[in-house]
Structure 1
Amino acid sequence: MSSFLHQRPLQNSLSDPDELSPRSLQNYQKPTAAFLRRPAVLVLLSLLIILGVLSPYIHSPASLLSVSSNTKWRSYTLPDAAAYVAKNNTLIVCAVSEAYLPFLNNWLISITRQKHHEKVLVIAEDYATLYKVNERWPGHAVLVPPALDASAAHKFGSQGFFNFTARRPRHLLQILELGFNVMYNDVDMVWLGDPFPYLKGEHDVYFTDDMAYVKPLDHSHELPPPGKKGRTYICSCMIYMRPTNGAKLVMKKWIEELEAQPWSKVKKANDQPAFNWALNKTAGQVDLYLLPQKAFPTGGLYFKNQTWVQETKGMHVIIHNNYITGFEKKIKRFHDYGLWLVDDHASESPLGRLK
């Protein structure tokens, strides 16, 4: 870079002090072509030309900074991001497209209250999300190419939604291969407490039951028995894994199951059945741990069984707003239960108030 900026010093053509006399001014001639070939002049002319070409597209110095910043984040890789964000060799990961940014912010507020937000890495599924998060919280978002069509990923059961969620195990496997512990959350969750004290022992994979029936408070932490469809009904929206061979095996099997059960208009597949098949088929080889229902209830239990909620009051750690579809319906339910934090507490989020 320094060699680009180095130039030969210009010679002083007016070295004779008499050249500035009235007689010399009478003989003065306009600069010749040879003068215009001098490096400093050429550089100046080049800059003027470049600015003239770009001026219709540049509205302020901030525009140049934005272009430069966006270019930087496009080349930001998952290994770079994981190394930058991880604390105590641990990451908290979510995958988000632009339409889910209000939910991301709500989730982040609840995590910030538990003082774990600095571990959060947002895997952006479109460039708008990548730029917006990193503009406000530099380094905490990364996009793993290719970027998806964000407008097609919002409806549960659609092919766009399947394409979006089917990338999840590949992201998680790559993080495990880098040697990090990783917790995955969907962003339609709210933290009411710190989940890390519940990640007891040295198990490979920790997960939650997605069934709404009430379990005993001291229920087993073993993988539940298969249901009517021949598989368990474990939630793929809250997972914690250590970088062990067992955890990597589950992610690889999850990828295989997704490839074996692609989306079709008839099946309308999603990622969760494939995750359950992966758990069931690797159960004998992997150390699995079912998290306590009282701390990690499914939405079908927390939002629909108020008797149970009262009986377990003060025990709830992460609430999942599932068993309901649609942005507006999820937001209303969070509002009804005092869990929509964005409106009044946006300043607590690392992203601030998103427009």
Structure 2
Amino acid sequence: MSKKMSAFLHQRPLYSSSPESYDLSPRSRQDHQKTSSSAAFLSRGPALVLLLLSLLVILGVVFPYVQSPNSLIFFTSRSSDSKWRSYTLSEAAAYVAKNNSLIVCAVSEAYLSFLNNWLISIARQKHHDKVLVIAEDYATLFKVNERWPGHAVLVPPALEAAAAHKFGSQGFFNFTARRPQHLLQILELGYNVMYNDVDMVWLADPFPYFEGEHDVYFMDDMAYVKPLNHSHDLPPPGKKGRTYICSCLIYLRPTVGAKLLMNKWIEELKDQPWSRAKKANDQPAFNWALNKTAGQVDVYLLPQKAFPTGGLYFRNKTWARETEGMHVIIHNNYIIGFEKKTKRFRDYGLWLVDEYAIESPLGNL
């Protein structure tokens, strides 16, 4: 082998003389690699810096909502709540209406169990899809739409959740006084609308009873027994100079007469505000409106045998037995208080939520 070849084979490789390039410990080498990687990352240009800033902005927006391991659910819920706050009556009516008709109720949070009981009875008659719940507080709005999206709407302003619980209170008056405004707005949108209080139970389909083309259909709230073939005209005024028609069940067509009646009802409520001396509710004003528009509105009194008041159905066992099989909607009135109404429904086998909650579109609340 030549001296030149031998020198080449024994020559050490050439390395940089920089102290960073040799005699590094494993940890030093790792630190060196990290420094090099960071530099490479930043050297890729402004686009990556912009990406980092965007991520920081997104975290700044989302982070306030991240309050628990279920933060994604919480964030989705907040987004959904925001959607329902801006949901309008016209949007809700268009979504819910079937055959240009709606069934509506007005409910605050305390009445949710009664709402569910009422819905079970309607579901059994296959009419629940056209139900629109007018929520009077946000708790009700969010709860119903969480279980049954699109079937609840709040017409501002919202009432305080506990304001309308006690019959005869100013809160109760404020709650019920909004009813004709809701109904008028639905009529102006061109829909047929049936209003129910939720302390009612359907035993049969009421729609076949809305025969003819009358402006408004309603039930008598008097407890005395009428002939089975009684007149369907507006009854004569009673001792107080007005009729005693129930404002808790009304069916309206979008006619000039129906709108006239709702406007008159609104007027009468303004003329008869609540006071401590006169603890008004919406029903007397409704009756004054009926009496003052008599002859201008085509009205129809529903048959007592099918739509009895609670003062008759629950208190006259003889009548209830003689008309058994004819009843369509039972109203749990002539009694005050959640507990008393619930007990009465249970006593008569009409409190359905205990055993049949699964039949409600809201499920077991």
TM over 0.5: yes
The 8 Å contact of residues 120 and 352 in structure 2, kept in 1 or not, is answered as yes
Counterpart of 1:210?
221
Q: Identical aligned pairs, as a percentage?
A: 76
Instruction: State yes or no: 1:121 paired with 2:132.
Output: yes
Change (3 A) 1:49 1:84: closer
Deviation at 1:266, TM superposition (A): 0.2
- Of the two, which has the highest radius of gyration? 2
- Structure 1 counterpart of 2:361: 350
Asked if the contact 1:193/1:317 (under 8 Å) is kept, the reply is: yes
| Contact 1:36–1:42, Cα closer than 8 Å, also in 2 | no
**Pairing of 1:1-355 with structure 2 (within 5 A):** 28=36, 30=39, 31=42, 35=46, 38-56=49-67, 59-354=70-365
Q: Match for residue 5 of structure 1?
A: none
SS of the equivalent of 1:121 reads strand
> SS where residue 162 of structure 2 aligns?
helix
Question: Residues 94 and 53 (structure 1 numbering): CA distance in 2 closer, same or farther, change over 3 Å?
Answer: closer
Structure 1: unaligned runs, 5 residues or longer: 1-21
Report Cα offsets for 1:258-314 as digits up to 9, x if no partner: 000000000000100000000000011010000000000000000000100111010
Inter-partner Cα distance in structure 2 for 1:26 and 1:301? 87
How far apart are residue 35 of structure 1 and its match?
Answer: 4.2
Q: Structure 1: how far apart are the matches of 2:233 and 2:326?
A: 20
Distance 1:289 1:51, change over 3 A: closer
- The answer on whether the counterparts of 1:193 and 1:316 sit within 8 Å (CA) in structure 2 is yes
Q: How many Å separate the matches in 2 of 1:80 and 1:311?
A: 45
Amino acid at match of 2:241: G
Residues in 2 aligned to 1:26 and 1:50: alpha-carbon distance in whole angstroms? 31
Give the residue type in structure 2 aligned to 1:221: H
Aligned to 2:29: none
1:53 to partner: Cα distance: 4.6
1:49, CA displacement in angstroms? 3.9
Q: What value does the CA root-mean-square deviation take over the aligned residues?
A: 2.1
Structure 2 equivalent of residue 11 of structure 1 = none
* Distance apart, 1:194 and its partner CA: 0.3
| 1:151 partner SS | coil
Once residues 167 and 27 of structure 1 are traced to their aligned partners in structure 2, the CA distance between those partners, rounded to angstroms, is 70
Quote how far apart the aligned CAs of 1:43 are. Answer: 1.4
Q: What SS class does the counterpart of residue 132 from structure 2 fall into?
A: strand
Q: How many residues align?
A: 333
Q: Is the 8 A contact 2:65 2:74 kept in 1?
A: no
Structure 1's 105 and 284: CA in aligned 2 closer, same or farther, altered over 3 A? same
Distance 2:363 2:188 in 1: 33
Partner-residue secondary structure (3-state), 1:67: helix
CA separation of 1:52 and 1:154: change in aligned 2, threshold 3 A: closer
Gaps of 5+ in 2: 1-20, 22-32
Preserved contact between residue 58 and residue 64 of structure 1 (Cα < 8 Å): no
Residue type at the aligned position of 1:121: L
Asked if structure 1 preserves the Cα contact closer than 8 Å seen for 2:122 and 2:202, the reply is: yes
Matches of 2:279 and 2:69 in 1, distance apart?
Answer: 46
Contact 1:190–1:319 (8 Å) recurs in 2: yes
Is the contact between residue 220 and residue 244 of structure 2 (CA under 8 Å) also seen in structure 1?
Answer: yes
Change (3 A) 1:326 1:38: same
1:132 Cα offset (Å): 0.3
Kindly indicate whether the alpha-carbon contact (under 8 Å) linking 2:84 and 2:153 is maintained by their aligned counterparts in 1: yes
Q: Is the 8 A contact 2:216 2:258 kept in 1?
A: yes
